[in-house]
Amino acid sequence: MTTHLATAALAVLAAVLPVGLGAQTEAPRFVLSEDGDYVIDLKAKLAWPRCVEGMVWDGKTCTGQPQLFDHAQASAHALARWKAESIRWRLPHTTELKRLVDPRPAQQGLDPVLFPAAPREWHWSGTANIRAGGQVNQYSYDNIQKGRNNDNADRMAYLHGWAVNLATGEAKGDVSKRSTLPLRLVRPAF
């Protein structure tokens, strides 16, 4: 009887454990929240809504149309949502958005199970570091505008912002802040 139980236990372990000595399975990076409304990045401790702003999770998929924002509207929307819900909503950094994209050629883009009906295009990022990604020419002044304020003093404003293509994972920092793009906000998971 004991031998039969030991054999059964070994059979169960063999079915569950990975093949090969010392092999370990990697824990998933992304899991769904209990209510299914959010994708939780366990390593970064971030919570992502399954739908972009303007779309609504109906329990099976994202419905509606993505809302498009220029950069100032996107920042204001994140702040308004933070104040309304008392949750630290913000624009994600380029590296955070890029982690959502599956780099494998056959799967490239967002996982359609985690992010159904997701727009496969450029999305706003909150990255402000002009050295991010090494893609900015430090001698090019095309992204700076000179102006005057009420005190007639000079001020500088950046004309370009960072965006990430959620179909390819490409990030670029020369997107006009007047462009209207979808927005996927992020917040702390815990």
Give 131-181 pLDDT, tens digit per residue: 544 444 444 445 444 444 444 333 344 789 999 999 999 999 999 999 999
Provide the residue ranges of all domains of the chain, joining segments of one domain with +. 25-129+156-188
Model pTM score: 0.73
Alpha-carbon distance of 128 to 74, in angstroms, equals 14
Interior/surface letters 3-25, b for 16+ CB within 10 angstroms, e for the rest: eeeeeeeeeeeeeeeeeeeeeee
Distance, first Cα to last Cα, the chain: 47
Alpha-carbon distance of 4 to 9, in angstroms, equals 9
- 25-129+156-188 is classed CATH 3.10.100: yes
Q: What is the pLDDT of residues 77-107, one digit of tens each?
A: 999 999 999 999 999 999 999 999 987 767 7
